Amino acid sequence: MADAAADPREAAFQAAIDAERSVEPRDWMPERYRATLIRQIAQHAHSEIIGMQPEGNWITRAPSLRRKAILLAKVQDEAGHGLYLYSAAETLGVSRSELVEMLQSGRQKYSSIFNYPTLTWADVGTIGWLVDGAAITNQLALTKTSYGPYARAMVRICREESFHQRQGFELLSQLSHGTPAQRAMAQDSVDRWWWPSLMMFGPPDDSSPNSAQSMKWKIKRVSNDELRQRFVDMTVPQARALGLGLPDPQLRWNENSEHYEFGPINWDEFAQVLKGDGPCNAERIRVRREADAGGAWVREAARAWAVKHKPRSAEDAA
């Protein structure tokens, strides 16, 4: 805060933010604004990239050609979302290779939800319905974030995400209205993913250290707890339509607040998974590193080809 007083540009920056003016890449910005955005956008990009793994796990075992085509398209979208976001982060002056390196060395995080395993086919449906549902709730709020390139990536991503959530709902609906075994598989899946989905919105507002400054800079527009509440309010009627229960005995409608109340979240589990002790942390990074190393010769070959065929001068090109 001492710097804020020292640098008059910081006051002008805040005034522009308060006047709802988007920040664009070549504008002056406080270093902490830049660093916060790099961290947040990178973490978001890494989540999309790592998020391909739990679902990719089921591509070869999808029960029909229709489901396989849908899942392939969805996983391809996640790759695309990761790339939009990496591009947005790069406008802040960080390079792609630095970003990839920070993911693979564990210096930057990704959403802890992807450290849970996809044990059954129903998990593909639950991820679409709950995990993408939570992601959309969060991302819709981010379409109005103050940094232009990030907001634009979010608009594009939100447009594509709604198919993800709907295919998940439809998949689960087929299972929950299917045989008793299919129904049990769907319920087991929702039981496992419900609480981790609520954790996706991050720690409660009173223990979220970076939130206040992010709200002031309008990087964040809606608080963690408010987004979580929106998600619960939206999801409970959907669970009812699916005919599936949610694993929270304290879940109930509050007439006065006109919101659903829900039980306490196990933040110790959240902290543990975040720290690296989730069921799949090590595997996710190992697979990512292998994919990167395995693709190195392709990137090198493409680069060598480009160098060899690069027009040396205007005459060569003609």
Binding site for other proteins (CB under 8 A): 24, 26-28, 73, 76-77, 80, 83-84, 87, 90, 95-97, 100-101, 152-153, 156, 160, 296, 299-300, 302-303, 305-306, 309-310
Task: Answer yes or no: are the C-beta atoms of 81 and 159 closer than 8 Å.
Answer: no
Kindly tell me which of 178 and 295 has the beta carbon lying closer to other proteins: 295
Helix locations, the chain, DSSP H? 2-6, 8-18, 31-50, 52-56, 65-90, 96-104, 122-126, 132-142, 148-176, 180-199, 211-216, 224-242, 267-272, 281-294, 296-309, 314-317
Q: How many CA atoms lie within 13 A of 84 on its CB side?
A: 20
How distant is the alpha carbon of residue 298 from its chain centre? Answer: 28
Q: How far is the CB of 132 from other proteins (least distance, A)?
A: 17
- The least CB distance from residue 23 to other proteins, in Å, is 10
- Gap between the Cα atoms of 197 and 219, Å rounded: 22
Angle at 41 between CA 81 and CA 17, to 5 degrees: 120
CB of 83 to other proteins, least distance (A): 6
Minimum Å gap between C-beta 57 and other proteins is 22
CA distance 285 to 300: 22
Q: Which long-range contacts (CB under 8 A, 24 or more apart) does 238-243 make?
A: 238/129, 238/133, 238/169, 239/190, 241/173, 242/169, 242/172, 242/173, 242/176, 242/186, 243/176, 243/177, 243/183
Q: How far is the CB of 181 from other proteins (least distance, A)?
A: 35
Closer to other proteins by Cβ: residue 3 or 24: 24
Tell me whether residue 91 or residue 174 sits nearer to other proteins (CB atom).
Answer: 91
Structure tokens at 97: 């290779």
Q: Which of 79, 184 has the CB closer to other proteins?
A: 79
Q: Which residues pair with 147 in a beta bridge?
A: 23
Nearer Cβ to other proteins (10/90): 90
Supply 199's token pair: 């954790």
Q: Which is nearer to other proteins, 13 or 260 (CB)?
A: 13
Residue 224 beta carbon to other proteins: minimum distance, rounded to whole angstroms: 28
Q: At closest approach, how far in Å is the CB of 302 from other proteins?
A: 4
Closest separation in Å from C-beta 103 to other proteins: 12
User: Residue 181 is which amino acid?
Assistant: A
